[in-house]
């Protein structure tokens, strides 16, 4: 049995440089979560390689496949298609709607037509690479119609699962979608549909009751069944996890400890508070900054004693709405720093860039408080990574009650409503004053929960729900990872250095 993972983006991003194309690791929660699942397991990952131009598949993706330990197959999209599919249907309709922000939606029917066309192209790519006994695991809201298109073309020949990484909205929000019935019925064509939380699945079931009355939901517990026409499918809850051991191991390294000491010394205040977010309006960055501003205004005892490190990872930054958000964030930071800075203390330390994983782990470990307050989030891996890296159990976590992670982490974290600025200010003061013993006790609970439900647990839970097998039942695929690419390209790739600096062709 072989796993075919299908997502909008491949785990790499092609970049055009003077001497040709190179590949770099892609960013974002889905890639962080799924890369360890497929790494060195063989199997196939199908997705868009992050670039609209014309590139030589074998030259780049052969070495990148070898590096990743599984085959990468690109789905090509033109600039025009990207605009209507990615920047249109997914970013201007599904993303805001599913995060309950329907006033930001642009319900264009051109976007919908392109969405169907691109989903069909992904279905074609699956059909092209599919072998009997493969399991097709489709990821996220960009590809909700792929299961339907496969079923139409294969008459049930394909075994398919779908996982939604973002929230599923309640019926009063979902019904605003002009293509609501097609989307729901499309999802019912998968054999298993997975959600992050019980709340998301409950919303989905409520939408079915309103809009697809012939679908009959049966059972209770983490996995339930739906009778739909002459078939049964399953709906499950699988809160996504992280590679806990990997994060924890990096956090314990001596070189990380050195980096942590340097960071702490450079900041020189008694406590560091850390926020890490992709640039996105759902992450609640301006709201959080306002909460911090109020904390400083209300509690002068925090002055010169606490520094917020706000990292923002550039994302969708060609979109005017995201550029405006960046400007708003930077204006607010300037306002706070202008009002409160004293010699030797700047309240908000702002990083607008991505950093290497090791550097991110050092920041997690250096932080005394994690401040993670999205307005709505499917899960939020940053909250879990902060806990995994707190190997001393000396940190406190402030977490939005609207992050999927809050359901698992509620007993150890200080939960806040991100729209309640006074409440956020109060939680910051409480975390700042929290005695070491209480921090230890809370962090112990948090780490236990994050470790037990790590990324392997997540993938296994999904596979068990799909057909009572775990990931270990997928045998390692020993074939040459470049064999699907044309021969001449393999020669071209041999001897070239891959992005990790290793020599391509040195073996999987």
Catalytic residue among 73, 99, 148, 165: 165
Q: Which is nearer to ligand GDG, 9 or 489 (CB)?
A: 9
Q: Which is nearer to ligand GDG, 271 or 275 (CB)?
A: 275
Q: Which is nearer to ligand GDG, 251 or 360 (CB)?
A: 360
According to DSSP, residue 89 is labeled I
Using CB under 6 A as the binding rule, the residues of this chain from 296 to 325 that contact ligand GDG are 313
Query: Three-state DSSP class for 379?
Result: coil
Distance from the first to the final alpha carbon of the chain = 20
Helix and strand totals (H; E) in the chain:
20, 17
Give per-residue burial for 207-216: e unless 16+ CB within 10 Å, then b: bbeebbeebe
Residue 393: partners with Cβ closer than 8 Å, 6 or more residues away:
439, 440, 443, 444, 447
Q: How near is the Cβ of 5 to ligand GDG at its closest, in Å? A: 13
Kindly state whether residue 32 participates in binding ligand GDG, applying the rule CB under 6 A: yes
Instruction: Name which of 228, 233, 230 is nearest 211 in CA terms.
Output: 228
Using CB under 6 A as the binding rule, the residues of this chain from 388 to 447 that contact ligand GDG are none
Q: Look up 165 and say whether it is catalytic.
A: yes
Q: How far apart are CA 297 and CA 292, in angstroms?
A: 9
Residue selected from 159, 165, 288, 489 as contacting ligand GDG according to rule CB under 6 A: 165
**Region label for 96, one of left (φ > 0), alpha (ψ between -120 and 50) or beta (otherwise):** alpha
Residue 348: partners with Cβ closer than 8 Å, 6 or more residues away:
289, 292, 307, 308, 310, 333, 336, 337
Structure tokens at 106: 């642009």
What track of x and - describes contact with ligand GDG for positions 260 through 289 (by CB under 6 A)?
----------------x-x-----------
Q: How far apart are CA 314 and CA 151, in angstroms?
A: 37
Strand partners, 349: 309
Q: Which is nearer to ligand GDG, 355 or 494 (CB)?
A: 355
Q: How far apart are CA 196 and CA 237, in angstroms?
A: 6
E strand or H helix at 74: strand 71-74
Structure tokens at 180: 């609501």
Q: Which is nearer to ligand GDG, 52 or 355 (CB)?
A: 355
Q: How near is the Cβ of 387 to ligand GDG at its closest, in Å? A: 13
Kindly state whether residue 72 participates in binding ligand GDG, applying the rule CB under 6 A: no
Distances (CA, A) of 242 to 79, 311, 396: 33, 20, 19
Kindly state whether residue 499 participates in binding ligand GDG, applying the rule CB under 6 A: no
What track of x and - describes contact with ligand GDG for positions 188 through 227 (by CB under 6 A)?
----------------------------------------
**Region label for 100, one of left (φ > 0), alpha (ψ between -120 and 50) or beta (otherwise):** left
E-state strands within 408-494: 414-416
Position closest to ligand GDG via CB: 29
Q: Which is nearer to ligand GDG, 55 or 364 (CB)?
A: 364
CB-side exposure of 31: number of CA atoms within 13 Å? 17
Residue selected from 1, 13, 28, 69 as contacting ligand GDG according to rule CB under 6 A: 28
What track of x and - describes contact with ligand GDG for positions 111 through 150 (by CB under 6 A)?
----------------------------------------
Q: Which is nearer to ligand GDG, 125 or 250 (CB)?
A: 250
Catalytic residue among 200, 377, 390, 460: 377
Strand partners, 370: 274, 397
Q: How far apart are CA 234 and CA 218, in angstroms?
A: 9
What track of x and - describes contact with ligand GDG for positions 346 through 385 (by CB under 6 A)?
--------xx-x--x----------------xxxxxx--x
Query: Three-state DSSP class for 492?
Result: helix
Q: Which is nearer to ligand GDG, 360 or 367 (CB)?
A: 360
Q: Which is nearer to ligand GDG, 166 or 371 (CB)?
A: 166
Residues contacting ligand GDG: total by CB under 6 A: 23
Residue selected from 5, 8, 22, 29 as contacting ligand GDG according to rule CB under 6 A: 29
Stretch that binds ligand GDG, among 25-33, 127-135, 168-176, 439-447 (CB under 6 A): 25-33
Q: How near is the Cβ of 313 to ligand GDG at its closest, in Å? A: 4
Q: How far apart are CA 485 and CA 479, in angstroms?
A: 13
Q: How near is the Cβ of 132 to ligand GDG at its closest, in Å? A: 30
Interface residues with ligand GDG (CB under 6 A) are 27-30, 32-33, 165-166, 240, 276, 278, 313, 354-355, 357, 360, 377-382, 385
Residues taking part in catalysis: 165, 377
């Amino acid at each position: 049995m072989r796993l075919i993972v299908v997502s909008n983006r491949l785990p790499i991003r092609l970049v055009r440089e003077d001497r040709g194309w190179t590949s770099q690791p892609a960013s974002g929660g889905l890639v962080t979560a799924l890369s360890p699942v497929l790494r060195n397991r063989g199997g196939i990952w199908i997705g868009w390689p992050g670039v609209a131009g014309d590139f030589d598949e074998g030259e780049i993706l052969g070495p990148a496949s070898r590096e990743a330990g599984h085959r990468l197959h690109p789905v090509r999209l033109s600039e025009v298609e990207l605009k209507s599919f990615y920047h249109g249907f997914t970013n201007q309709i599904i993303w805001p709607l599913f995060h309950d922000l329907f006033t930001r939606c642009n319900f264009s029917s051109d976007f919908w037509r392109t969405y169907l066309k691109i989903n069909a192209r992904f279905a074609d790519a699956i059909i092209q690479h599919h072998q009997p006994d493969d399991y097709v695991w489709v990821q996220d809201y960009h590809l909700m119609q792929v299961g339907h298109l496969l079923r139409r073309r294969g008459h049930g020949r394909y075994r398919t699962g779908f996982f939604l990484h973002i929230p599923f909205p309640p019926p009063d929000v979902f019904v605003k979608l002009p293509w609501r019935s097609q989307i729901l019925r499309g999802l019912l064509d998968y054999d298993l549909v997975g959600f992050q939380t019980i709340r998301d699945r409950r919303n989905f079931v409520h939408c079915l009751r309103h809009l697809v009355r012939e679908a009959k939901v049966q059972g209770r517990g983490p996995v339930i069944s739906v009778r739909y026409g002459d078939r049964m499918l399953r709906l499950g809850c699988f809160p996504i996890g992280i590679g806990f051991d990997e994060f924890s191991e990096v956090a314990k390294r001596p070189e990380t400890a050195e980096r942590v000491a340097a960071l702490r010394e450079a900041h020189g205040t008694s406590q560091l508070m850390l926020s890490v977010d992709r640039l996105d309006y759902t992450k609640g960055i301006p709201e959080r900054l306002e909460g911090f501003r109020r904390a400083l205004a209300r509690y002068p005892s925090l002055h010169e004693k606490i520094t917020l490190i706000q990292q923002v990872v550039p994302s969708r930054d060609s979109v005017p709405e995201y550029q405006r958000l960046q400007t708003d964030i930077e204006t607010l930071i300037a306002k706070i720093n202008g009002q409160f800075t004293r010699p030797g203390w700047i309240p908000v330390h702002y990083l607008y860039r991505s950093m290497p994983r090791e550097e991110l782990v050092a920041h997690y470990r250096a932080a005394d408080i994690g401040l993670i307050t999205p307005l709505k989030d499917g899960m939020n891996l940053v909250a879990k990574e902060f806990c995994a890296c707190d190997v001393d159990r000396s940190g406190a976590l402030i977490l939005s009650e609207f992050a999927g992670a809050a359901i698992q982490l509620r007993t150890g974290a200080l939960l806040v409503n991100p729209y309640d600025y006074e409440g956020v200010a109060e939680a910051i003061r409480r975390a700042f004053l929290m005695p070491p013993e209480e921090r230890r006790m809370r962090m112990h609970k948090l780490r236990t929960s994050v470790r037990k439900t790590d990324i392997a647990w997540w993938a296994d839970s999904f596979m068990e729900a799909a057909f009572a097998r775990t990931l270990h039942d997928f045998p390692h695929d020993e074939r040459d990872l470049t064999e699907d690419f044309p021969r001449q390209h393999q020669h071209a790739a041999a001897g070239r250095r891959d992005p990790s600096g290793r020599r391509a062709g040195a073996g999987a």
